[in-house]
Amino acid sequence: MSIVTALRAAFAAEEPSVLVTITRAVGSTPREAGAAMLVTPSQLAGTIGGGRLEFDAIERARAMLVSGEIEAAMDVALGPAIGQCCGGRVELSLRRAEEALLTELKTLETRQKAARPLALIFGAGHTGRALATALAPLPISVRLVDSRPETLVGLPEVIETIASALPEAEVAAAPAGTAFVVMTHEHSLDFLIAAAALARGDAAYVGLIGSATKRERFCRYLAEEGWEADAARLTLPIGGAALHDKRPEVIAALTVAELAVCLLSDQQEKLIDRFAARNGRCHSAEVRSTG
């Protein structure tokens, strides 16, 4: 449950609450500045990193609820004194929740969602749906595209679904820095979409489900179209080849890790190069998966 949702519920139940926010983090800390949690007499939403730091903050927040205190602050060294060995230091702000705070948090949440990177998944088969569902809890916007409307039902509400007779058209409409993951029900459509994503030159990630054989075929297709150089930026198979498990949920979990590193890091170019190197050139012998 998000902090905004939890705060709405607390107001509806006329239950008091305190927002605990990390205002400063120095050195090694379990969470970064801006991380927050909402504390009510019986519930919690969000986290500032767990451990004794969080336990003590919860205790302080609930003491505020009893006393009626409006604001407080904590300066915590994460060392032996509190049984944590991070070695850093955090400063916390504790603020009694009021309607004005809910408005602030809603505005912040809207701004953060708008700034999220996009994972654009083509193909709502078993693996595509598993991947979209696994990505849903992360700070990544998820968009699932398929030409078959019946495959796009029953997914978490945060996943945007697009039923399109021309799914390849969604490539051009995506913002710079998008991660494209291709796993449609037709190899020819896979090739068309992946080639269009590679041709953009500004993707955070271009991944294609498949095997070494599929990679060879796709590389030949790129060469015939004069795009052979783009193959170096292709991740195929998605999720790597260290674990040869073809179950959709396993492929999805491994691919989520790749996408999270690329989309949530400020080192995208370096990471893309690393993934490309791992996948090799057109003659890669790596084998994997269901495409």
Strands 160-163 and 141-146: what pairing?
Answer: parallel
Sign of the C-alpha dihedral computed for residues 279, 285, 286 and 289 taken in this order: positive
pLDDT at 84: 66
Taking residues 196-205, what's their average pLDDT?
A: 90
Q: Comparing C-alpha atoms, which of 247, 277, 259, 128 is closest to residue 206?
A: 259
Q: What's the DSSP call for residue 121?
A: E
Most confident of 185-189, 243-247, 258-262, 274-278: 258-262
Is pLDDT above 50 for 240?
yes
Average pLDDT over residues 251-257: 94
The region of weakest confidence among 203-212, 219-228, 235-244 is 219-228
- pLDDT band of 234, cuts 50, 70, 90: confident
pLDDT of res. 273: 44
CA proximity to 75, closest of 117, 25, 125:
25
Residues 267-285 pLDDT 10s: 444 434 444 444 433 333 3
pLDDT of residue 283: 31
Confidence at 220, pLDDT banded by 50, 70, 90: confident
More confident residue, 182 or 201: 182
Whole-number Cα distances in Å, 136 to 128, 139, 160, 250: 12, 8, 10, 16
Q: Where would I find the H helices in the chain? A: 3-12, 51-67, 99-114, 126-135, 169-173, 187-200, 212-224, 248-263, 268-279
Q: pLDDT tens digits for 83-107?
A: 666 678 999 999 999 888 888 888 8
Read off the pLDDT of residues 69-78 as tens digits, 9 standing for 90 and up.
Answer: 999 999 988 8
In this structure, the number of other CB atoms found within 10 A of the CB of residue 50 comes to 11
What domains are defined for the chain?
A: 3-112 (no CATH), 116-279 (3.40.50.720)
Write down the pLDDT at residue 68: 92
* Per-residue pLDDT reduced to its tens digit, 101-134: 888 888 888 888 888 999 999 999 999 999 999 9
pLDDT at 230: 67
Q: What percent of the chain has pLDDT over 70?
A: 87
Comparing 179 with 200, which gets the higher pLDDT? 179
Specify the pLDDT at position 151. Answer: 94
Structure tokens at 271: 């990471």
User: What pLDDT is recorded for position 214?
Assistant: 83
pLDDT value at residue 182? 95
Banded pLDDT at 246 (limits 50, 70, 90): confident
